[in-house]
């Protein structure tokens, strides 16, 4: 059993409700809870108000997670007259069934959202917000596996299948599972500043930010074979040599001790993409990370990632992201949680 309700710290603490329901994913709710707990600790050490954190459910009492761990919760009715700062709604693997049996919770979310400063979902929790009408006409993120389902069941939502998290005004949605930690860190930075967010990230041994537009799946994960690690060592070699090697099919095939024709066929069969596309994705991801986490100029990044020059890198960014590298970096600087460092 995990008891997660805490006593409010002195002063006008922000009330954060973590909304539980049977079968929810434990990390969806525990990750953000830990971020807000840690932020509260640092704020209180400075004599400042932190977060009054409560885990709630429709009727209160013990709620079992998917993993079989029980969370002790307070009933929603206990907060009828309480000013709520933030609502955090987790997801569940069988989210369609969870939404179907959660009509009272959906109704409560719909009624309380207007009087709540900020509403957030983690992973498939976006489906509960969508059922309450809170995502209509907005851009939203959810787990990459169910993006198409969210788009089909709620066509008014602009589903961003790439983003780690999306902020649309005071509505926040995040991608799969651990993305809830990124979302919570960004909200803490918005509320408490970079210093506190950085302290929390260091204590939890996570990055202080993964920008909201960062893809849920890295290029390495996308390129991994679904049924065999055949090309994993090749991928590592590519990533380690982006700046110095011109990766022709002939060279890659030679590394694998295969003929170019057979290599191209097997690679596409195992990874779902051509070797050239995989190399381009590796270069793009490396460039995005350097734009996010370093102060190198565009020309330096283009050379370090093997694009050769800024023009070629710009064309790749435009093709994949509809942004130039300069625009990508500028957009990052304007985002909540966009402070550099870890």
- Residues annotated as part of the active site: 123
Query: Residues 6 or more apart from 285 whose CB is under 8 A from it?
Result: 215, 218, 219
Dihedrals phi, psi of 206, to nearest 5 degrees: -130, 165
Under DSSP, is residue 197 helix (H, G, I), strand (E, B) or coil? helix
| Rg of the chain on CA atoms, in Å | 22
Query: Is residue 72 within 8 Å of 61, Cβ to Cβ?
Result: yes
How far apart, in whole angstroms, are the C-alpha atoms of residue 211 and residue 209? 6
Q: Positive or negative CA dihedral for 14, 15, 19, 25?
A: positive
Distance between CA 115 and CA 62 in Å, rounded? 27
| φ, ψ (nearest 5 deg) of residue 98 | -65, -40
Rounded Cα–Cα distance for residues 224 and 220 (Å): 6
**C-alpha span between 322 and 329 (Å, rounded):** 13
Task: Specify the DSSP element, H or E, that contains 126.
Answer: helix 126-131
CA angle 157, 158, 164 (to 5 degrees): 115
């Amino acid at each position: 059993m995990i008891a997660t309700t805490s006593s409010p710290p002195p002063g006008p603490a922000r009330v954060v409700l973590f909304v539980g329901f049977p079968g929810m994913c434990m990390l969806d709710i525990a990750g953000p809870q830990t971020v807000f707990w840690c932020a509260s600790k640092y704020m209180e050490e400075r004599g400042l108000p932190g977060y009054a954190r409560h885990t709630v459910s429709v009727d209160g009492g013990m709620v079992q997670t998917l993993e079989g761990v029980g969370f002790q919760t307070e009933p929603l009715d206990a907060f009828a007259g309480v000013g709520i700062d933030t609502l955090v709604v987790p997801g569940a693997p069988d989210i369609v069934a969870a939404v179907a049996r959660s009509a009272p919770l959906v109704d409560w979310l719909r009624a309380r959202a207007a009087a709540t400063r900020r509403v957030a979902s983690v992973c498939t929790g976006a489906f509960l917000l969508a059922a309450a009408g809170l995502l209509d006409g907005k851009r939203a993120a959810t787990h990459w596996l169910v993006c198409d389902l969210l788009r089909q069941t709620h066509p008014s939502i602009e589903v961003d299948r790439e983003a780690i998290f999306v902020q649309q005004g005071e509505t926040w949605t995040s991608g799969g599972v651990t993305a809830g930690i990124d979302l919570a860190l960004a909200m803490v930075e918005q509320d408490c500043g970079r210093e506190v967010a950085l302290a929390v990230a260091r204590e939890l041994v996570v990055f202080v930010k993964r920008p909201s537009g960062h893809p849920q799946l890295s290029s390495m994960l996308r390129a991994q074979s679904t049924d065999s690690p055949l090309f994993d060592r090749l991928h590592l070699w590519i990533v380690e040599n982006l700046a110095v090697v011109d990766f022709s099919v002939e060279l890659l095939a030679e590394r694998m001790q295969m003929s170019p024709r057979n290599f191209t066929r097997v690679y596409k069969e195992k990874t779902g993409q051509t070797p050239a596309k995989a190399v381009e994705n590796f270069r793009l991801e490396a460039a995005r990370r350097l734009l996010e986490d370093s102060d190198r100029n565009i020309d330096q990044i283009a050379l370090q990632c093997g694009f050769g020059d800024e023009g070629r890198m710009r064309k790749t960014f435009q093709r994949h992201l509809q942004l130039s590298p300069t625009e990508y970096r500028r957009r990052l600087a304007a985002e909540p949680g966009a402070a550099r460092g870890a």
